[in-house]
Amino acid sequence: MKTVKAGVVGGTGYTGVELLRLLARHPGVELVAITSRKDAGTPVAEMFPSLRGRVSLAFSDPARTDLAACDVVFFATPHGVAMAEAQRLVDAGTRIIDLAADFRLRDLVEWRRWYKLDHAAPHLAAEAVYGLPELYRERIRTARIVANPGCYATSVQLGFLPLVAAGVVDTGHLIADAKSGVSGAGRKAELGLLYSEAADNFKAYNVGAHRHVPEIVQSLSEAAGGPVRVTFVPHLVPMIRGIHATLYARITREADFQSLFEKRYAGEPFVDVMPAGSTPDTRSVRASNLCRLAIHRPGGGDTLVVLSVIDNLAKGASGQAVQNMNIMFGLGETTGLEVVPVVP
């Protein structure tokens, strides 16, 4: 098996440490750099004791780290960082997987509207590949830059994709009602994320204004071959990790919907279409790269309900990033990701 030299920029956040957890046990990866400006010089295992005996590196200052010596660099950073470094790295032959949003949208006017920045590398944004393997696997294989999807976007797209691609639902009125654990907000001190604020509480946020909406619309519109409109409402729930998306679509053409999902995802190693009427829960995917889906038709009416659950830090972020790396470097797609979900 080929050994891929990997670097992680921004290794101190939740997606960063999740990447390290997966890469440290990956048989085809050598971790050669883990950067953090604030914590440069600190041994990684000192900050994250879970990695003792697995990661011997210390965090390094990104300005003094030869990231161009890596085969692949993961950016587990806020938006705006990867696009500033991308040209130098791709010129050196290093491939990039960005877990932030710098390369997710092809329309850079739309990108600026949502992210309030001028794009630093528009020519690279044009060639970047959106990293949802179940839709863009062949493009990912040869990509120099992969834009890892957002966590909500992953759960919503995988749930709607078979329906919009088959043309059996009203693509102008899709509804996504999604709930995420607190780790989705990142590893930071913020009032609304404190235990006494988030525990024993349940609230919606960014209603109609969440940044994952345009990437959801972009990919589903391409799959549908025409415009798609999605009403998306995210919620914060008092758990650490996991996303549960309840998706609603009005039927426009009859089909065997269970069979439609089973055929669309046949052979997909990380999508589990459950028996009709199932109710997957977030615990069934915790710490794994799985998405579990279930299809319902309440009362035999004209509305389909799709339940989609993922771990927001795994299939919703770092696990999917490793899946993309495997595809890019010709490794077995499931390598390093054969993790049985953690229960309880």
266: number of CA atoms within 13 Å, CB side?
6
Reference 29, options 60, 57, 50; nearest CA is: 57
Residue 255 to residues 218, 227, 236, 273, Cα–Cα distance (Å): 25, 22, 34, 16
In the chain, what is the straight-line distance between the N-terminal and C-terminal CA atoms, in Å? 34
The answer to whether the beta carbons of residues 173 and 322 sit under 8 Å apart is no
Catalytic residue among 151, 198, 293, 304: 151
**151 included as an active-site residue:** yes
Neighbouring residues of 263: CB distance < 8 A, sequence distance ≥ 6: none
Reference 163, options 246, 259, 245, 279; nearest CA is: 259
**Residue 172: Cβ-neighbour burial (10 angstroms; 0-12, 13-18, 19+):** exposed
* Other Cβ atoms closer than 10 A to 221: 16
What is the 3-class SS of 54-79, one letter each residue? CCCCECECHHHCCHHHCCEEEECCCC
Name the residues annotated as catalytic.
Answer: 151
